[in-house]
Amino acid sequence: MSDLNLIDVVNLIRAEIARTEIGDVKRIIGPQGEQGPQGDTGPQGPQGPRGNDGKQGPAGAKGNQGKKGDKGVKGDDGADGVGIARVEQDIDNAIVVHLTDGNYYTIEMPLINDDGSLAKEVHYKSGGGGSGVVDLSGYVKRPSDTHGGKWLLYREPDGTNRGEWAPATTDLIETNGMLMFRDIKGRFKPTPEELENINTQLKANRFMWEKIQELDLKAGGVAISPDAPDNPDNGMFWFDNTEDVMQLFIWHKDSDAWIPVAPPTTLDARVSAGEATQQAIITQIQQSLDDQARIVAKVEELTITKGAVARYVVTDTSISGVASRNGELYVSSPTAADVQYLSFAPFDSNGQTTKPCNPDDIVEFVEAAGGRNAGDVTRYKVISGDYNALTVEYLSGTNDFEVGEAEEVYIYPQNSDLATIEYVDAQDELLQIAVSSNAIAIGSKADKSYVDAQDNGLTQRINERVRLYGDNNLTDEWRIKQQNTSGNNNTLIVAKDGELKLYHVKYPTSDDHAASMKYVDDEIAKIVIPDIPEIPEVEEAIQPLLWEYMGQSVEAVDLEPGQFTYRYSGSQGSAEGWVKIYTSIYDASGQTLASQVVFQHDMTDKMFLSMMNADGGMGIHMKAKTLYFNQGNSGAKYHRFEGKFWRVAKSTVTGKKFILNVPGFLPTFGKPSDIASFSLPDEPPCGDIPPEADE
């Protein structure tokens, strides 16, 4: 709120009174009372009528100024203005303002708070008896200085409710924090970190100006300095104006290096560049000669590998089955370029076994003499399958297929890396063109005698050190040496007797560097091996004791300790279906299961009995009925547990181990050593019978 004088406050009071008047009655607004409790939610009312149309859209662009109209008639005189006639102060320090129209207003003090800030509201009474409150926080006094017609902004920088008017400048206008545009590579800029600081229009303008300067340099400008620019973008130019360099470079991101794009402008540099180019041409010629020799060797090898011909007759051109009779050939299409599947009979027309085929092998068809296109050739590459059902890829040729015509077939086993004669001829033609081009280029760099001397020297050195069979077979010792910084020759690589040895390996500084034995030993020596504490002996674990199922043919009186059998009748899940489980009176550790007297418990529908597989999963389960203990004669006693409503989850297998579950009775627990070392007593002990167990 800007500073308001007394007349401003009086005008606000008059406006407030005019706003609250209703006819001849004046509405007096008192202080707001406390908010009452929230009432109950009323029932949902009927759907209201369709609402009015939405608010009007934004205004269109400003049109051209219209033609000035005719001068209007003079209007009526305005109402007389109202001013302050006099100002008094009553005994309560309130200000009484008398106006020239006869009205007066009593304004309660103070208008200024104790901390020096202006009050945000003023209380008043009018001469007519009304009273009220005017909220001053939303009012700002019009500035007296318009600063030459500039746009003005009102701000309260210190929060004291004492604001100021200032011309609108870019440092006062906040941005929405979403300044985004793309750089030369299409990436969005700026980064989120940069956005935090771009909070005014001034900072946004500066940021964009800096980025435009960077784009100018990186898009087409050239940095000129003796030192390479930092953080270059792909394609950026740099001219090294060092006196002995004077050369233009371009930054190649994939190579992570500055690449020369023009020869140096110094004489020494041009001479060095010419010599380097000459040496590169010599090396290329030698490489071309070596490649030509290898191609000739490939052609000779191809001739040897091609081997004997096999003859077949086209029997089917739609692959309706597989070839089975001697000499049969099935193809998936009569058009050579459309064939994707082949099928050879196990034997050719001469009774020779069909050659095996492997992926990447080459299959060549030559139409036999006397055919409509005798001598035409078509080649395929094997993708998968065997000779009786091959998936192939068309390579070349126009030798189409027709039922009844004879084909001569050559199979190149594991030969996809070799070259066809057509390929060799084509490569040889390209090689001759390259050699001719190199010869022209050499004419301006070195004479023939120089090149011949270099070639002879290279050939002699190779023949002295290496004898090659094929492409990469070394039959003699082979070494690589190089001078060190002291001028002495260091042996770096030795290949001998089927072994490769490396010497003078640089101390590794990256993951892809080789490591010497010394480096490995040094690193191992740095490893600190902590003392391993002794592991204390662990007592045997207590575990459930298992029962071995002895099958349906074993009688209960013949059961040994830890053994059981059972009998059943009826059908699953029925009251007529029952199961009787018979166990030895001793568990697998030789311990008795119950008192040695004869007794029984009626447990009808009171608990659950089950035989669980020791290797996991339920076997048979049922509702308990009656538990009988110490049945049989004195020399061969057993326990019998009866149940009904039995169901089978997994079948029992003779000799398998099970956990018997009789709540409150089984399973029993013990240690593995107890099972291996127990012995039965001569006479089972007979304990006292509790009174409640005498049934």
Most confident of the following: 214-218, 237-241, 334-338: 334-338
Whether the Cβ atoms of residue 492 and residue 506 lie closer than 8 Å to each other: no
Q: Is the dihedral of CA 252, 255, 256, 261 positive or negative?
A: negative
pLDDT for position 24: 43
Task: State the pLDDT confidence band at 91, using cuts at 50, 70 and 90.
Answer: low
**DSSP three-state, residue 329:** strand
The residue whose two tokens read 């934004």 is 58
Q: What is d(CA 11, CA 17) in angstroms, rounded to the nearest whole number?
A: 10
Task: State the pLDDT confidence band at 345, using cuts at 50, 70 and 90.
Answer: very high
pLDDT for position 692: 40
Per domain, the residue ranges of the chain are 1-25+82-168, 181-219, 309-413, 477-529, 543-693
pLDDT for position 39: 77
Q: Residue 534 corresponds to which amino acid? A: E
- 29-80 per-position pLDDT tens digit: 555 667 778 877 777 777 777 766 666 666 666 677 777 777 778 877 766 7
| CA 380 from centroid of its chain's CA atoms | 40
Characterize 602-615 residue by residue with b for buried, 16 or more Cβ atoms within 10 angstroms of its Cβ, and e for exposed.
ebeeeeebbbbbee
Task: State the pLDDT confidence band at 585, using cuts at 50, 70 and 90.
Answer: confident
Whether the Cβ atoms of residue 285 and residue 451 lie closer than 8 Å to each other: yes
- 407-430 per-position pLDDT tens digit: 999 887 654 445 555 655 665 666
Q: What is d(CA 276, CA 285) in angstroms, rounded to the nearest whole number?
A: 14
Q: What is d(CA 43, CA 48) in angstroms, rounded to the nearest whole number?
A: 14
Structure tokens at 177: 């924090």
pTM above 0.75, yes or no: no
Structure tokens at 492: 């770096």
pLDDT for position 677: 55
Task: State the pLDDT confidence band at 686, using cuts at 50, 70 and 90.
Answer: very low
CA angle in degrees (0–180, nearest 5) for 502-503-505: 95
Helix (H) or strand (E) holding 285: helix 267-306
Task: State the pLDDT confidence band at 316, using cuts at 50, 70 and 90.
Answer: very high
For the domain made up of 309-413, give the CATH fold. Answer: Elongation Factor Tu (Ef-tu); domain 3 (2.40.30)
What Å distances lie between residue 327 and 85, 310, 311, 380, 588, CA to CA?
132, 9, 7, 19, 73
Q: What is d(CA 485, CA 305) in angstroms, rounded to the nearest whole number?
A: 50
**DSSP three-state, residue 632:** strand
Mean of pLDDT over the chain: 76
Give the residue-averaged pLDDT of 253-275. 75
Q: Residue 251 corresponds to which amino acid? A: W
- 644-682 per-position pLDDT tens digit: 988 888 888 898 999 988 888 888 888 777 665 555 555
